[in-house]
Structure 1
Amino acid sequence: MKKITIQEMPKHVGETVKMGAWLANKRSSGKIAFLQLRDGTGFVQGVVVKAEVSEEMFATAKGLHQETSLYVVGEVTEDTRSAFGYELQVKEIQVISESTDYPITPKEHGTEFLMDHRHLWLRSKKQHAKMKVRNELIRATYEFFNDNGFVKMDPPILTASAPEGTSELFHTKYFDEDAFLSQSGQLYAEASAMALGKVFSFGPTFRAEKSKTRRHLIEFWMIEPEMAFVEHDESLEVQEQFVSHIIQSALKNCKLELEILGRDISKLEKVKAPFPRISYDDAIEFLHKEGFDDIKWGDDFGSPHETAIANHYDLPVFITCYPTGIKPFYMQPHPDRDDVVLCADLIAPEGYGEIIGGSERIWDYDLLKQRIEEHGLDQEAYNWYLDLRKYGSVPHSGFGLGLERTVSWVTGADHVRETIPFPRLLNRIYP
């Protein structure tokens, strides 16, 4: 007898198969028991008909507790009433391990309770769906960059300096030296691009930012490409092609998961390159017309400002050329203005905020050295970074996409804490 997964059931209609599963839920009448089964690849209903199994087997089915692990044998049949489209006509049940008093029952639980039990909450249908979408965005990311000639490079997690010159870093000791957990792999990706042309990194980053908003995590994952001989406008084209690709991949390969989450996919179906663009100057003017009198030129945008701009377009929108004073030291100045830089943030619609930050990088040695001094940074710590401008410097650009914010947008999640398996928040490092 063939052992299969729930995901493989469509290939075995009419066959009797064996599956390992956990009992997610159950209900029963006098003559039929309906078992909601899950195996990690998906969820399916198992139907146990009293007249078709032994009395002992039917009693076992009715007495099962939530999250008990099982081997089940049954026939795969089509079921047009379910979103999955299939169910299992169960003939045999073998209990592997009993589960009693499972803490997450089919009722409402508070957020803190669920977060305390995150190791178990991941088993639920909606959390499972979010993780499957996350996985698809990761798969599609590798697909996009591999298909477009990028090389994966892995920057260090322990660093001697701050890429963006902030104080929001986690400090540690590296034997007898100071070190920090990385807040970005960008500078190392730039060095890699000077060796390999087009590269991308994909790894964990850390921000000691004391923020409790629904968009912030202490530890999160960033996708950070860097491209030699690529200028600002060319980089924007890569960004919109990349985002279009991963969104369309999610729509194609996670249709069931998005349906489970109740996501309005019509919003996502419109996400195709090119994306609208608005300059920072024009964004300020737009916000004033919309009644945001609190914002003035030189201020960074907050969540309400970004939401108003994105909702106007109902698509991801690039806000370009921010003031020099509110952006990191390494961004290339605008060729015609000294008060703005060649950069852009990509703002997702529906209130999900910035998902990408990117820029053309300063490639002139003297200017970069000047910027390091102006920002009060330790030049010695950046000597290796300055070397990239000493030995064959070229125009180059890059960007960083936050995975969890993007998963939040695609899945319609209320908070980024549900888009990473084990979130690290200002008040949470357990489990």
Structure 2
Amino acid sequence: MKTTINEAKKYLNQEVTIGGWLHNKRSSGKIAFLQLRDGTGFMQGVVVKAEVSEETFQLAKDITQESSLYVTGTITEDTRSDLGYEMQVQSIELIDEAHDYPITPKNHGPEFLMDHRHLWLRSKKQHAVMKIRNEIIRATYEFFNENNFTKIDPPILTASAPEGTSELFHTKYFDEDAFLSQSGQLYMEAAAMAHGKVFSFGPTFRAEKSKTRRHLIEFWMIEPEMAFYNHADSLEVQEQYVSHVVQSVLKNCKIELKALDRDTSKLEKVRAPFPRITYDDAVTFLKEQGFDDIEWGDDFGAPHETAIANHYDLPVFIINYPTKIKPFYMQPNPENENTVLCADLIAPEGYGEIIGGSERINDLELMEQRITEHGLDAESYSYYLDLRRYGSVPHSGFGLGLERTVAWISGVEHVRETSPFPRLLNRLYP
């Protein structure tokens, strides 16, 4: 019976065959312990010299790291294992013998590991991060489908920019200028006018020359947009969505979180509603905490966001930023004309902003004014202005950065480990 490591528990005390790779091994004279992986998980195979052929035992001792093989044996209970079971190996069939696998069990530097990212993905911790990423994606679709959102795919090549062109990758589109998308938001607003509640999920690009542990050049965004939703409505959706994702990972990725030594007690507290603090109060708080350099009108940096999030020890919304430091499309705050109806959701433990969102301007005249004030080409935004000409309604939306969210939930230090093949300032390989 062929099976996989994650399905092997169904065959307790039965003989099965699993195709996989040798992750690691150790032996103690008359017993060889094989650490096997097959893509679905990691499992121990025990080879007892007295219970197998001499050829099989010799192969178990000689087989090299990352060689591929079929192992056949009986699945038995093992309470010491995270899985709760292991295999008593009876025979081994070598498929392909690996020689001089570069990522040995010793420690390697990050540049070496990134150069070998195509192989580093096989490691137990990197495997765990990708499984958590996959669960976040699965839970995302689950949440928005259950809440009657329609998935719409915006283009990756665009003629205009939601937030200006300074951080965009330029390309030629035949005889026109084009840019790699930094956000699908403007197109999602059009889709919301057709479908009410929509979301997109796709790659976005920022030509930002940053080397911090929070930044990637290419990353994935989940961008919902909702017609007839005001700013307060949107905040409720955001906190419900993030809560759903975190609780789904806690439920379905126990083994992976343990492999990463993640302190899950911090994640267990992540349930809606989340605390809210205005930008004004955040500035006051930061000054009280000794950040004398911050002034009203400044954008917050990583240390400022970390101080605010650590104070709450939960994801926290910072709401109503100054108009001058936010994009052109955000609805003015009726209680303070110098601020807009927006929010950034800051993750705890120093992971920074994971969501940016706002209520959008729905008045045609004001939107035309904002486009002019920001020095944007009105012709490029003609379709966007049409949304305000023909049946404009109040609407709101937000964008969640997948990789930062994966980093926070999995507890890894650098966002580069949350993308299967990250694109960094000085890295386009592999």
State the TM-score, normalized to the length of structure 2: 1.00
Provide Cα deviations, 1:164-200, integer angstroms capped at 9, x if missing partner.
1141000000001000000000000000000000000
Q: Give 1:82 shift.
A: 1.5
* Equivalent residue, structure 1, for 2:285: 286
CA distances 1:325-363 after superposition (whole Å, capped 9, x unpaired): 000000000012210000000000000000000000000
Query: Which residue of 1 is the match for residue 248 of structure 2?
Result: 249
User: Deviations 1:105-152 (Å, cap 9, x if unpaired)?
Assistant: 000001100000000000000000000000000000000000000000
Distance in 2 (alpha carbons) for counterparts of 1:226 and 1:347: 20
Cα distance in 2, alignment partners of residues 166 and 319 from structure 1: 26
> What is the 5 A alignment of 1:368-407?
368-407=367-406
> Any idea what SS the aligned residue of 2:26 has?
strand
Secondary structure at 1:298 match in 2? coil
Q: After TM superposition, list the pairs within 5 Å mapping 1:114-129 onto structure 2.
A: 114-129=113-128
Secondary structure of the structure 2 residue equivalent to 1:338: strand
Deviations 1:202-230 (A, max 9, x none): 00000000000000000000000000000
Q: Which amino acid aligns with 1:387?
A: D
1:299 aligned onto 2:298: yes
Structure 1 runs, 4 residues or longer, greater than 2 Å off: none
Which residue of structure 2 lines up, in the alignment, with residue 331 of structure 1?
Answer: 330
Q: Which moved more, 1:332-341 or 1:371-380?
A: 332-341
Paired letter, 2:240: Q
Instruction: State the partner residue of 2:276.
Output: 277
Offset at 1:155?
0.1
- Match of residue 3 from structure 1: 2
**Distance in 2 of aligned mates of 1:74 and 1:407:** 36
Q: 1:67 maps to which residue?
A: 66
Residue aligning to 1:231:
230
**Long gaps (5+) in structure 2:** none
**Structure 1 residue 9: Cα displacement:** 1.3
Deviation at 1:163, TM superposition (A): 1.0
Indicate the SS of the match to 1:407: helix
Give, in whole Å, the separation in 1 of the partners of 2:160 and 2:376. Answer: 9
> SS state of the match for residue 263, structure 1?
coil
Task: Name the SS of the counterpart of 1:340 in structure 2.
Answer: strand
1:281-339 Cα offsets, whole Å, 9 max, x none, are 00000001101000000000000000000000000000000000000000000012210
3-state secondary structure, aligned to 1:132: helix
Which residue of 1 is the match for residue 131 of structure 2?
132
Using the alignment, how far apart are the partners of 2:392 and 2:237 within structure 1? 22
Partner of 1:268: 267
State the one-letter code of the partner of 2:357. Answer: G
- C-alpha deviation, 1:382, in angstroms: 0.2
> How much has 1:411 moved relative to structure 2?
0.6
Residue in 1 aligned with 2:307? 308
Matched letter for residue 300 of structure 1: D
Q: Secondary structure at the match of 2:142?
A: helix
Matches of 1:53 and 1:364, distance apart in 2: 78
Corresponding residue of 2:423: 424
**Which residue is 2:90 aligned to?**
91
Name the Cα RMSD after superposition.
0.5
Aligned equivalents of 2:247 and 2:241: distance in 1? 10
Q: Which residue of 2 aligns with 1:164?
A: 163
* Cα deviation, residue 398, structure 1: 0.1
- Residue identity in the other structure for 2:70: Y
Q: TM-score, normalised by structure 1?
A: 0.99
Q: Distance in 2 between matches of 1:115 and 1:85?
A: 33
Provide the residue aligned with 2:14 in structure 1.
Answer: 15
Deviations 1:355-410 (A, max 9, x none): 00000000000000000000000000000000000000000000000000000000
CA distance in 2: counterparts of 1:309 and 1:316, whole angstroms: 10
Q: Distance in 2 between matches of 1:30 and 1:281?
A: 68
- Equivalent residue runs for 1:71-220 within 5 Å: 71-220=70-219
Shift, 1:84, TM fit:
1.8
- CA distance in 1: counterparts of 2:364 and 2:164, whole angstroms: 18
